[in-house]
Amino acid sequence: MKQNIFKITAIIFAMLLGILLLRCATKSIQRQYFILDYNPILRDSSLTVEKPLPYRVQVQTMKIPRTFDRVNIVVRYSAHRLDYYRYQLWAIRPQIVISDLIARHIQRYHIFESCQREFLDERPDYEIIGSIEAIEKFDNPNYTAAHLAMKLYLRTFDGYEPVLTHEFDRVEEMPVFRMELFAKKLSDIVQEETDNFIRKIIKYFKEQEKNTANPKNQQS
């Protein structure tokens, strides 16, 4: 009789312990969501124009390879080995949020009459297109880094060939790694490179204005 009671007690204890461990395991694998974001603040006078350029510009959604077209954050161990975080995810897919950031950035600087993601009743004069070549965490024995590579193009809305391009491939080492810092590092890269893209845009339209004012410059 005592043996039966002992066995029943042991079984109940094991079941309770199993339930407790299952609850702890469930709590430890909750999903975490991260987002790219920044507040574009104009600090560089070279990124200003006297008055907005009289054009409407549409920012199209960036293209992205299938490898990165997902909410799972990509971690690369070598040129031929990568993996996906299962519980650490992007809140918004990279190609959508980066396109939104670029449009907001340019609009905040008042470079153009209007810079939007969509035009419903009006036809844009130019469009910004591009691709995200890589957005990932580098993780190998030597270092951990944030990697973002992109190509950006400005072209007329009816045109095919771009009037200017901007490409970059940035690898930023992270001696201290947390996923929040990783998201911030990528956000910083987008902000810096969008500034560089805007600088090229301003230079291009200034040169166009000079050529229009002095047609001889176009012939020389």
What band does 64 get if pLDDT is binned at 50, 70 and 90? very high
Q: What pLDDT score does 211 carry?
A: 79
Q: What pLDDT score does 46 carry?
A: 85
Query: Which has the minimum average pLDDT: 12-16, 31-35, 98-102, 190-194?
Result: 12-16
* 72, 151, 196 from 69: Cα distances, Å: 9, 16, 25
Six-digit token string for 118? 């969509």
Could you list the beta-strand ranges (E) of the chain. Answer: 32-34, 53-59, 72-78, 81-90, 112-116, 126-139, 144-156, 164-173
CB 68 within 8 A of CB 3: no
- pLDDT exceeds 90 at position 108: yes
- Residues 1-57 pLDDT 10s: 555 555 565 566 556 566 665 565 545 679 999 999 999 988 888 898 989 999 999
Q: Which is more confidently placed, 174 or 12?
A: 174
Q: What pLDDT score does 44 carry?
A: 85
> How many angstroms separate the CA atoms of 19 and 80, rounded?
41
> How many angstroms separate the CA atoms of 110 and 53, rounded?
8
Share above pLDDT 90 across residues of the chain, in percent, rounded to a whole number? 73
Q: What pLDDT score does 216 carry?
A: 62
CB 63 within 8 A of CB 130: yes
Mean pLDDT over 93-119 rounds to: 96
